[in-house]
Amino acid sequence: MPNRIDHVTLGAASLAQGTAAMEGALGVTLPRGGQHEAMSTHNCLAQVGNEAFLELIAIDPEAPPPGRTRWFTLDEPATQARLAERPRALCWVVRTDDLDALVARSPVPLGEILSMSRGGRSWRLTVPQDGSLAEAGLIPAFIEWSPGPHPSGGMQDLGLRLERVRLSHPDPDWLTGVLAVLEIDGLVEVAAGERALSFVLRTADGSAVTLD
């Protein structure tokens, strides 16, 4: 199966802040997901069509400090200052059937491969040890799920649909070349400019909303 967008991730200073902002932007209340014990984070989740989902993630204030740097730059003061203003697009994640081969051929470092699980499902995910994001999140993380239906099928359908991921980069030709090697699908739009990431979603009433 070709690589496909698995989910898009928004960071928030807290889930309460994030869900309130999403209610205003999308007109829906994102349901609670679960905890990531290895990272001391928790999330809210909703499906966005094509076996993909939207994740709103925040540091879990009730969890003990993790034994490593949290993912998605959540420990970085600059990220925390940005999230204190409002939720932000942090990262997008692409699903692959052969994570080891993809990491081996990637022209840029994708990080270590971590094995994680929740309930009856497990997955392997690329995560840099220092919690950084490749090209400020413009190059995705990659995930390989254990066999079974995609987890988005068990998430609430609030009528949201992901239309595209927008990437802006000072050297768009270079970025496009990297994404081609990594076999990214056609939902990605690359433009010239300062490094920036955004997600375009269609809401249940047909409105297009850009989350950046």
- Give the domain ranges of the chain: 4-150
Close Cβ partners of 165 (under 8 Å, ≥ 6 residues apart): 5, 8, 92, 187, 188, 189, 197, 198, 199, 200
Q: Which residues pair with 32 in a beta bridge?
A: 44
**What is the per-residue pLDDT for 1?**
64
The CATH number of domain 4-150, selected from 3.40.50.300, 3.40.50.970, 3.10.180.10, 1.10.287.3510: 3.10.180.10
pLDDT-derived band of residue 161, with 50, 70 and 90 as boundaries?
A: very high
Task: Count Cβ neighbours within 10 Å for each residue of 14-28 and write b for 16 or more, e otherwise.
Answer: bbebbbebbeebbeb
Give tens-digit pLDDT for 19-28. Answer: 999 999 999 9
Average pLDDT over all residues of the chain = 95
- For the entire predicted model, the pTM comes to 0.95
**What are the tens digits of pLDDT across the range 164-179?**
999 999 999 999 999 9
